[in-house]
Amino acid sequence: MIKREEVEDEGGLTVGNIRSYYKCEVCGYVTLVRTQYGWLDSHPIRYTCGNCKILIKGIAILDQQNADFRIDIENASLVSPENEADFYIETSGELLTEKLQPYNSETHWYIPPPFFRGLWGMGDPSDPQSGYEKFDIFKKNVISFLHTTKNEWPRIRRINELWHHENHEYLVQEVRKVLPKKQFPMNNRLEYLRGVHFITKFFLQPVISYEHNETIFRELKSLFEQNPANMIELSRYFKDHYRSYDRRILRIIEHFTEVFKFLIPAYGLTYYHEISEDLVEKKGMTTAAFEDIKEFYIDTYEFVAEIVPIIIGYNNLKYRDDFKKMSDTKPKYEFDKFLEAHKGKKVEYIDGTEVFDSLIVDGSIDNKIRNAIGHNTYEFDGISQLIKYDPVGKNKPSDIREMYLVQFAGKCLSIFQTVVHIWELLYQTEKHLYVSQGMKSVNPAVFSMNHLEQKAIKEKVRSKKKSEKRMKKLIKKQKRKK
């Protein structure tokens, strides 16, 4: 049996919840599942039976047109509330929730739903309205990204694939369905690259920050003024790797579109005014189990570890005036040999002391959790949502580390953001290669001019051409007279 529950907050917003009782098909224990239905058409549900510890998973589906809501669950059966609950858990597709706990009829008769607690977390205590404003931005960005993923991702993927396979005729055809020809003429490799990058970057914009681009633009401009020849040499050094890197990045982006639905509550934390130290211990997420997202992390980690040399190359150029000249204060490597180094060693080389290190988001590259996942030396407790992992693999108590699921989901978001930073650096590097080959890009003025300015320039061009024609006629007449 399902019971609907609607709660209104002080601002007049109504939040809907569904109370359902699910009986574990293994041990028979009953869990009261209180599901908040918000603005997602559907979202995954994951929780652990509090008695026998099996994973119970499903999906919540909101039918907006018919004002209907249902939950499809496996490993548990819907029962009447006459079967008194043994456990209680909240579920939400958008926000953090209370973790599984023993059911208490008095305590769990009413608890503020995740929506209200999310508002309070996002709001500045000195400005009560700020929570609503941040939540609205969070909501719009998530819905926008999910919508474009569903409707636009196939087109974006095929545009990237055409570029990777150098099917330029079809590439131009597809890009011109999306972008204006004047701003994106698609008439050489530089313009092909620019069009593909712009489309893909715009797709990710709702949920990705591009604030690090300012650092990249500023530093590359400075380096080009400082040592243009070596910077062009760097761009040529990686020329045989660009398409391979692009293909890897495309796979990571596609994987991100698949796992984002599991990460939404962790993404919501980026809008919090402040995060208390005990938040991840007390609150959890019911959109994912560890197994749902661990492969995304390890696959993305492998690529970042592989691509570290381009970051090192730019650091070398900035601090040592030669992209191949390695630091004297770090482990000794020749740059060519560094590309072949063990991935763990490459990651360790980044220590945050040089400017391009900042492209790697703090805490996103965690060699220890990567090793534990890779060697299957971890345990996940679905009730506490605590991950215990052994990066060494010798099962020594002193080696065991801990991390909550919400924290790991945050690492998944951070490592993807890191990929986006490096992707921009690769893009700018490849652009320098094509510019060095004499290719020209569209004049930036076509983006900044409004209609009247463009019209005025056209009139000036026409007037100049008329003047030139008149001058030519006058010269001819004078020659005839002579």
pLDDT, position 111? 83
409 and 327 in a common domain: yes
Question: Residue 42 in contact with residue 60, Cβ under 8 Å?
Answer: yes
Q: Between β-strands 14-24 and 101-102, what pairing exists: parallel, antiparallel or unpaired?
A: unpaired
The alpha helices in 437-482, defined as continuous H runs, are 445-448, 451-481
Q: Between β-strands 68-74 and 42-48, what pairing exists: parallel, antiparallel or unpaired?
A: unpaired
Backbone angles phi, psi at 184, to 5 degrees: -135, 80
- The answer to whether residue 20 sits within a structural domain is yes
Last residue of a domain, one of 105, 121, 137: 121
204 and 347 in a common domain: yes
Q: Between β-strands 55-63 and 42-48, what pairing exists: parallel, antiparallel or unpaired?
A: antiparallel
278 and 155 in a common domain: yes
pTM for this predicted structure: 0.88
Last residue of a domain, one of 94, 121, 148: 121
- The answer to whether residue 441 sits within a structural domain is no
430 and 357 in a common domain: yes
Angle between helices 405-436 and 242-268 (to 10 degrees): 150
Identify any residues that bridge with 283 across adjacent strands, giving them in sequence order.
98
Last residue of a domain, one of 71, 91, 121: 121
pLDDT, position 9? 47
Identify any residues that bridge with 378 across adjacent strands, giving them in sequence order.
389
pLDDT, position 36? 86
Identify any residues that bridge with 71 across adjacent strands, giving them in sequence order.
60
Which residues does 469 contact at the CB level (< 8 Å), separation at least 6? none
- The answer to whether residue 48 sits within a structural domain is yes
- The answer to whether residue 354 sits within a structural domain is yes
pLDDT, position 457? 42
201 and 107 in a common domain: no
pLDDT, position 3? 55
Ranges of residues in the chain with a pLDDT under 50 are 1, 7-14, 449-457, 460, 475, 482
120-162: per-residue pLDDT in tens?
999 998 998 899 999 999 999 999 999 999 999 999 999 999 9
Number of domains in the chain: 3
455 and 407 in a common domain: no
Amino acid at residue number 262: F
Q: Coil, helix or strand for 277?
A: coil
112 and 145 in a common domain: no
The rounded Cα 376 to chain-centroid distance in angstroms is: 26
318 and 273 in a common domain: yes
pLDDT, position 13? 46
pLDDT, position 305? 95
Token pair, residue 104, equals: 């208490």
Which residues does 396 contact at the CB level (< 8 Å), separation at least 6? 390
pLDDT, position 262? 98
Q: Which residue has the tokens 């008149």?
A: 470
The CA distance from 65 to 447, in Å, is: 41
- The answer to whether residue 175 sits within a structural domain is yes
The residue segments making up the domain with residue 475 are: 450-481
- The answer to whether residue 445 sits within a structural domain is no
N- to C-terminal Cα separation, the chain: 106
The CA distance from 137 to 207, in Å, is: 11
Q: Between β-strands 55-63 and 283-284, what pairing exists: parallel, antiparallel or unpaired?
A: unpaired
The CA distance from 314 to 169, in Å, is: 34
460 and 414 in a common domain: no
104 and 21 in a common domain: yes
154 and 64 in a common domain: no
- The answer to whether residue 35 sits within a structural domain is yes
- The answer to whether residue 443 sits within a structural domain is no
284 and 180 in a common domain: yes
